[in-house]
Amino acid sequence: MADKLMVCKDCKAEFVFTESEQAFYKEKGFDNEPQRCPDCRRARKQQKSAGGGNRDNNRGGQRSQGGGQGRKW
């Protein structure tokens, strides 16, 4: 097994699906590979737990403002 380069469905960013993550997925019995980068996955999770509202819940998260890594909005 090797690390896999994936493209995020949401933001089209490339991310690495690492060997250990692949092993984790397999262990959990997940057949499909992740469709989204870790950022988008986290964002979606937070959205769910925040009940649809985001942007005003900054506790415990690191927000990257101003100096993103090659990300275009």
User: Is 43 among the residues that bind Zn ion (CB under 5 A)?
Assistant: no
3-state per-residue secondary structure call for the chain: CCCEEEECCCCCCEEEECHHHHHHHHHHCCCCCCCCCHHHHHHHHHHHHCCCCCCCCCCCCCCCCCCCCCCCC
| Smallest distance, Zn ion to C-beta of residue 62, A | 16
**Closest CB to Zn ion among 11 and 25?**
11
Q: Is 6 in the site for Zn ion (CB under 5 A)?
A: no
The correct pick among 10, 14, 19, 33 for binding Zn ion (CB under 5 A) is 10
Where do contacts with Zn ion occur on this chain (CB under 5 A)? 8, 10-11, 13, 37, 40
